[in-house]
Structure 1
Amino acid sequence: RNFLNIAVVAGLLWNLVLGHGHGFALPFYMESLAVMLGSAFGPIVLFLGGAANVGALKELSVLRSALMPLLTVLLKVFFLPTFVAAVTSWLGGKSQTVNFAFTFSTLPSAASTLVFARPYEPSEDMNSLMNASLLLHKVVGFPVLFLAAAVLTTTSAHQTRRAVVKFENDLSLLCVGLTLILLLSRTWFTGWAKPPLQKIYVLLLITFLESTVT
């Protein structure tokens, strides 16, 4: 039922039967149709991804439902790149190939995930989980991606250290700004005044004061 699986299998059969494993061009009329349909995929994904983000922040604000998105993001950001790099090295990949595989694996999950999951008719709770995970993954994943790319392009330990220090400083400034926004959000978000978010708000305040002092 998933059109992605059907497309992969159909392309493989086309290649094996007509191209004998070396590729075989589509007829011009089929290629034009495929290009036209493919060009619409990007805007549709962006539209669906933007629409799906509506309410994702509210989902993350519920402490009970924030655990699973956080776990999925941590698995994708930290476990998957390490696993991919290890497998690439085990298969005999060179150092540059392993580094590229690691950096590429840190890319945040695309909004096209929502499109691919649509044929399976996920429940409302599952949709909320995916939306919250995709949103959180962009917040966590992009800094890790930038750091991995910076480390990949360095040629010495000194340059790597400088890149890490600069990343830490920039990330600290970003965290201070975001923490300040969260603290100010109490003026319009009443949930901070109620448990258990009340304790988190106090922790945010202490963290903000500590970061500004240090």
Structure 2
Amino acid sequence: PKLSEYGSQIQLEKTTDGLHIQIVDQGNRPMFDAGSSLVKPYMRDILREIGAALGDVENHIALAGHTDATPYGSGDRGYSNWELSADRANASRRELVAGGLPDNKLRRVEGLASSRLLRADQPNDPINRRISIVVMTQEAEERMLPRSGPVPIMPMLDPAAPSAAAPVAAPAAVAAIAEPAPGAAPAAAAPSAPTAKAAAPGIALPTLQISRDVTKSPSQSGG
């Protein structure tokens, strides 16, 4: 099937984060069964075509499911639009992979319920029910999905081991004792110099390291 057959339901936009692909619902042609994550046959065709097209793209993918603001009907065991949107995102992921997208290209799969409506003024509009696919640039991936590198392991203190040598306090000044004159009272000893206090040691915090394993530049697409 050609994606052009479903052009009214596929939106493409180039953003600073990368290529944003959105597959939106239509009232007369839903992507999933009502209240279900079961993918409709035509939606399966769309997702597999997109998966095949993205199979050789070097960039990584973020995938999200969205619903409209209509509350989920049954409420069975607290199942809501959050779970439904997440289940639909994972069902879409499976179809993308079946179409040829390597599973390790996916960096994030999430359900956002109705938290990001396309039409906030019409929260129940079918267009708000959608699957979003972002082909991320390297910069967007590092910004959106920071991954820490190896964290330095701080050595544990052994209670039995001698503690690190603390700065030695300055010795008290010794007062010079003058030979008293005959019949004079002994001179008073000069006061001891105050003992210097050791400064509190600084605490070294491990630095969060951003992974640099994504080094490929975004693929340039024409048209």
Same fold (TM over 0.5): no
- The structure whose residues are more often strand, as a share, is 2
User: Which structure has the bigger radius of gyration?
Assistant: 2
Q: TM-score normalised to the size of structure 2?
A: 0.20
- The structure whose residues are more often helix, as a share, is 1
